[in-house]
Each structure stands twice: as C-alpha cells, then as structure tokens.
C-alpha cells in the first residue's frame, strides 16, 4: 500500500493499515520533519481516537489539557456540561510533536517511511496503481491514498473537480522572538482584539511568540512564505507597534479558501485530509478532520486488501466522510463571517455570544467543533446507531482499553450472543456497564456503533454487512 504524504493524516492511515498486517510505504516529499506548528491541538474526538489505540499517555505527556466551550468564531465560553465524551477537554500540543508521536507509532507497527520522495504522477488500471517519483523511479501498489495536503499532486493527477471559493482574505502566521515585555504585549493585544479577532501574539516561552496577523492582501503565489518585514508592517497597521519582533523560526500564510472534492475515491486511488478538503483554520478543525478521515478509511482499505470487505464497504468512506467535511466547511464559512470587523459582523457576534450562554447552544457548538457529535447514517434504529460510543466504564476496565488492536468489537451484556464465523475480525467481550443502556452493541474498528440489540439473527446480518462473509 502506498500512502502519499507523511503528515498526521498519512501517518494515522499507515498505522491503521499496519494493525491489519498490510504492508505500507509512506512517501513524503520533505527530507526532514516540518518545524511549522500550524495545527495546535487535538479536539475531544481525536483524543478518543489516540486513546482507542493506546497512545493517550504519550500525547498527554507532550500536551496540555484545556477547556473552552463553543470555541466558535473567536467566542469563548465555559466548557459545557454533559458533553458526550469521557474526555472532557481538548489537548494543546504542537503539530511537530503530534507528527513525531504518530510517526513513532506507525514505525513501531512496521510502516516504512521514505523521506525526500516526491510523487510527480500516477496511473491506474484494474489491478493497481503506478506512482512516478521525481527521481525517475516507479512504485506499484494495489491502492494509493493521497494524504499530500491542499496542493495535492495525487488529486491534481486524478483530475477530480475541487469546487469551492478561492481565498478572499489572507492571514500571516509564524513563530518569532519579540523584544517588548510580555505584560505590554498582552495589554496591546487585548486592546487590538476588541475589533480584530484575526490577531494575536501567544507566548511560547523563552521570549518566543506565535504571531497571527491579517495580511494586507491575498498573495499571488501563496506557496511563497512572507518575510519578517511583512509581519512588522502588518503588526504596526493593526496594533500600532511591531513589538520588536525578530529571529523567526518559521513564517507562513493561510487563506480562507473553501473547497471539497466531489469524490473521495476514483477507482484504486483515494483522497484524505487536506487533499480532499480545504477550509479556514477557524475552530482548529483541519488536522483533526484529516486524522478522523484516516481512522474511518484505514480498516476499510485493509479489509479490501485482505479480501473480506463487503462490496460497498470501501465506498462507504466517501458516503460517511464527505458530509462530515461539508459540515466543517459550512461552519468555518460562518466563523469567518463572525470574525469580520464591519458593524454587521460585530452585531452578529454579540448576538451569538448571548445565545451561547444557553447550555444547549454551547453544547451543540462544542460537539460540532470537537466532532463528538458525528453520527453516520446507518438507517433507522437505536439512538446510538451510527454514533461513536464514548469510553464507558466496564466491570473489568475501560472500553477503549479493548480497542487497541483496531478490530471490531461486540460488547455483550447478555452473554448469550456469538461472533462465530467472524472471530478473526471481531472480538467478543462479555461484560457489563452501568453507563450503557443497551443489551449489546457492535462497534466497528473506528468506534462507531454498527448494531444495537439482543438477537443473534440481527447481529449476524450486521456482522455480514460490515465484516464480510462468515468463515468456518
């Protein structure tokens, strides 16, 4: 299996494939890991995913828990009560640390990561996909997944439509030192943010700051990074001072373009993460959305390679994840409107802030941003059907402790059911939980509930739907 792109999305996908013994090669264009920390953390749903794979302690050791409810359009409220997760927080962790931890996990499982390998072309036939590299060599694989970012070569070579809106505004982002004292910086930033929410200097320690400031226009070539003088000029324009910024670690820019491919799968080539969708970073959803794409796709692709995937299983990746990303694109469009500086945007932000004081509104927006409210359409049935199940406490431990292997799981509180015929793909756990109001639930490897009930025939039907034919 070839995964193009060694960022968080590609690394999670590779690890998920390796859990099912699929040979994986990750092709990464960069020769060294990036120092840029564009993504600043994991929301609650992504925290659940790393917990399901036994990685949570590693991430907690490198991050910091924080609680901001309804982090929507720059409006901060208290964390809502009764959010449906055992992880009542988001995790602040720099993207380089996230990539390092995910990369270590993938390599531990047997992933091969090849750096300095730039993909320039690909072609596919009924048997597989051929990938051409910049050095003139070629690789062949049964499937290829493009996790190579917003400027995805895989997407461009596929020729799929990428409809949406181009960038209308642009923001400068970077890490640099400042000579002004921290107290003065905090006071100036607080005053400027009364009218300009796309602005901030966040202390990183040792005199370094994460600087975000609106650009004066959209660059003709956004692949070219801004200069330190660009930052100084824009800081003076917004805050009246450049704070004496100097010694940048890295400088970049991002726009508010909003686009999504019409198809996540074309034959034996699939797209995930920013290769499939781009949007403004408001709400910090981008990295998380890509990681969750990979978590949905990995076990399905592994099933196709192993030969037991039901006919429609691989296509369910697009059917499930395309609407999720479309919703993220919609909410980031709304947030960019709220971040505006005109009187209408200010009035709208004040009104929404009042509404978010209602617990149900706060919980709704927090559930949307953190993705704990994602529910796939599996048809009519129990309220849990299609939703992911939080980490419930069992009599003999925690649910997520049983999911490290990436297999399906039948949590059976009756002790009367069986996964005979599917035991090579599905674990059967007989245990009880006071937090689970259901006789039994069948969980897919991504933690979403595929079946709720107590009857063996109904269970067998859903086992076949998601895990293929029974074996003797």
Residue 216: the pLDDT is: 86
Q: What CATH number has the domain spanning 393-467?
A: 3.40.30.120
Burial class (CB in 10 A: 0-12, 13-18, 19+), 317: buried
Q: In which band, very low, low, confident or very high, does the pLDDT at 377 lie, cut at 50, 70 and 90?
A: very high
Mean pLDDT of the chain: 95
pTM: 0.94
Structure-token pair, residue 457: 């025939």
Q: What CATH number has the domain spanning 170-255?
A: 3.30.70.2450
CB contact burial 443-459 (16+ within 10 A = b; e otherwise): bbbbbbbbbbbeeeebb
From residue 49, alpha-carbon distances to 85, 88, 95, 267 in Å are 12, 14, 16, 28
Residue pLDDT, tens place only, 393-430: 999 999 999 999 999 999 999 999 999 999 999 999 99
Q: In which band, very low, low, confident or very high, does the pLDDT at 223 lie, cut at 50, 70 and 90?
A: confident
Q: What is the mean pLDDT of residues 282-298?
A: 95
Contacts of 262 (CB under 8 A, 6+ apart): 160, 161, 163
Where on the phi/psi map is residue 30: left (φ > 0), alpha (ψ -120 to 50), or beta? Answer: beta
Q: Rounded CA gap, 212 and 175, in Å?
A: 9
Q: In which band, very low, low, confident or very high, does the pLDDT at 174 lie, cut at 50, 70 and 90?
A: very high
Residue 128 main-chain phi, psi, to 5 deg: 175, -165
Q: Rounded CA gap, 291 and 293, in Å?
A: 5
Quickly name the fold that domain 2-164+259-370 has: FAD/NAD(P)-binding domain (3.50.50)
Q: Rounded CA gap, 51 and 82, in Å?
A: 20
Neighbours of 226 (CB within 10 A): 21
Do β-strands 397-398 and 393-394 pair in parallel, antiparallel, or remain unpaired?
antiparallel
For the chain, the residue count is 472
Q: In which band, very low, low, confident or very high, does the pLDDT at 359 lie, cut at 50, 70 and 90?
A: very high
Residue pLDDT, tens place only, 309-354: 999 999 999 999 999 999 999 999 999 999 888 999 999 999 999 9
Q: Rounded CA gap, 419 and 63, in Å?
A: 39
User: 24, 107 in Cβ contact below 8 A?
Assistant: no
Burial class (CB in 10 A: 0-12, 13-18, 19+), 467: buried
Q: What is the mean pLDDT of residues 262-274?
A: 98
Domain regions of the chain by residue span? 2-164+259-370, 170-255, 393-467
Q: In this prediction, what percent of the chain has a pLDDT beyond 70?
A: 100
Sheet architecture: strand order including 41-42: 41-42, 90-92, 64-66
Residue 71: the pLDDT is: 81
pLDDT at 36 over 80: no
pLDDT at 290 over 90: yes
Neighbours of 319 (CB within 10 A): 13
Decide if 2-164+259-370 and 170-255 have a common fold: no
Q: Rounded CA gap, 250 and 444, in Å?
A: 40
Q: What is the mean pLDDT of residues 78-86?
A: 95
Q: In which band, very low, low, confident or very high, does the pLDDT at 74 lie, cut at 50, 70 and 90?
A: confident
């Amino acid at each position: 299996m070839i995964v193009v792109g060694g960022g968080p999305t590609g690394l999670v996908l590779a690890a998920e494939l390796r859990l099912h013994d699929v040979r994986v090669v990750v092709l990464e264009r960069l020769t060294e890991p990036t120092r840029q920390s564009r993504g600043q953390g994991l929301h609650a749903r992504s925290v659940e995913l790393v917990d399901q794979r036994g990685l949570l302690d590693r991430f907690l050791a490198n991050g910091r828990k924080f609680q901001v409810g309804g982090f929507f359009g720059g409006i901060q409220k208290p964390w809502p009560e009764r959010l449906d997760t055992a992880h009542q927080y988001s995790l602040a962790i720099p993207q380089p640390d996230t990539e390092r931890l995910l990369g270590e996990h993938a390599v531990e499982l047997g992933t091969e990561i090849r750096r300095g390998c730039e993909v320039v072309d690909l072609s596919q036939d009924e048997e597989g996909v051929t990938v051409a590299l910049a050095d003139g060599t070629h690789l062949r694989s049964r499937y290829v997944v493009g996790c190579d970012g917003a400027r995805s070569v895989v997407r461009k070579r596929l020729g799929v439509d990428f409809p949406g809106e181009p960038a209308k505004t642009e923001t400068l982002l970077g890490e640099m030192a400042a000579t002004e004292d921290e107290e003065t910086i905090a006071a100036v930033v607080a005053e400027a943010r009364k009218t300009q929410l796309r602005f901030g200097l966040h202390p990183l320690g040792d005199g370094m700051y994460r600087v975000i400031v609106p650009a004066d226009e959209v660059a003709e070539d956004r692949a070219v990074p801004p200069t330190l003088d660009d930052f100084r000029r824009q800081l003076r324009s917004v805050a009246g001072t450049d704070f004496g910024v100097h010694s940048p670690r890295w400088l970049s820019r991002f726009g508010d373009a909003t686009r999504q491919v019409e198809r996540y799968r074309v034959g034996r080539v699939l797209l995930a993460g920013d290769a499939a969708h781009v949007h403004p970073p408001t709400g910090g959803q981008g990295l998380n959305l890509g990681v969750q794409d990979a978590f949905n796709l990995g076990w399905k692709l592994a099933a196709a390679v192993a030969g037991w995937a039901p006919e429609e299983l691989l296509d369910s990746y697009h059917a499930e994840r395309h609407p999720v990303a479309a919703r993220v694109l919609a909410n980031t469009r709304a947030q960019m409107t709220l971040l505006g500086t005109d009187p209408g945007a200010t009035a709208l932000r004040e009104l929404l802030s009042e509404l978010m004081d209602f617990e149900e509104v706060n919980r709704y927006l927090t559930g949307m941003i953190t993705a704990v409210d994602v529910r796939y359409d599996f048809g009519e049935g129990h309220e849990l059907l299609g939703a992911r199940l939080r980490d419930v406490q069992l009599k003999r431990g925690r649910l997520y402790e049983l999911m490290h292997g990436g297999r399906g799981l039948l949590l059976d509180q009756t002790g009367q059911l069986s996964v005979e015929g599917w035991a090579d793909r599905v674990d059967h756990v007989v245990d009880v939980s006071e937090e689970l109001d259901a006789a039994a639930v069948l969980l897919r490897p991504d933690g979403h509930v595929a079946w709720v009930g107590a009857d063996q025939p109904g269970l067998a039907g859903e086992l076949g739907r998601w895990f293929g034919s029974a074996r003797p």
